[in-house]
Amino acid sequence: MDIHKYKPAVAKGVLLFLAGGLWFAVGLMLLFMAITWLREIADGSWYVYAGAGGLLAMFFHHFVFLRIVDKNLARLLPEAEKRCLFSFMPWKSYLMIPVMIAMGVVLRHSSFPKPYLSVIYMGIGLALVLSSVRYLRYFLKEIANRCVREKKE
């Protein structure tokens, strides 16, 4: 019995779209939570927290997430054949997801002040959105390359 015929294999472009789309969606979710908390600040100092979140986002985007994206792209781009649908992330990332979700739940339900928590959520959320652009840019390149190859044939 050939078990490989049951593997949900997809093209490289689908993996790039899934990775970028997931990072974008999670980033937006975190940003919306941060904005909700910032809107509750009555004294008008929300811009200080938003600015701190923006600075944190630039740090995370440049020094953390782009390195992860580049590692994933180096793993995904050389492959010419179809790969498993779930290979858009390395297996270690699947282990980290429940830990990150649990940390988020604990922080949201803790006594940690929401304005300070909004800085963290905005920093990570905006960094994820910005970093997802690199995945999506390579996805568009893959689509363009496929169109050129089909046109030649």
**Would you place residue 55 in the very low, low, confident or very high pLDDT band (cuts 50, 70, 90)?**
very high
Least-confidence region, from 53-57, 75-79, 112-116: 75-79
Under a CB-based contact definition with an 8 Å cutoff, are residues 129 and 27 in contact?
Answer: yes
Q: What is the pLDDT of residues 76-101, one digit of tens each?
A: 999 778 898 999 999 999 999 999 99
**Residue 96 covered by a domain:** no
**Residue 90 covered by a domain:** no
Q: What percent of the chain has pLDDT over 70?
A: 99
Is the pLDDT assigned to residue 152 strictly greater than 70? yes
**Residue 3 covered by a domain:** no
Q: What is the pLDDT of residues 11-37, one digit of tens each?
A: 999 999 999 999 999 999 999 999 999
Length of the chain: 153
**Would you place residue 1 in the very low, low, confident or very high pLDDT band (cuts 50, 70, 90)?**
low
**Residue 51 covered by a domain:** yes
Distance CA 45, CA 49 (A): 7
**Residue 130 covered by a domain:** yes
* pLDDT at residue number 69: 97
Is the pLDDT assigned to residue 3 strictly greater than 80? no
Residue 141: which domain range? 46-77+105-153
**Residue 15 covered by a domain:** no
In angstroms, what CA-CA distances link 81 with 20, 51, 78, 90, 151? 20, 44, 9, 17, 20
Least-confidence region, from 79-88, 109-118, 128-137: 79-88
Average pLDDT over residues 68-75: 96
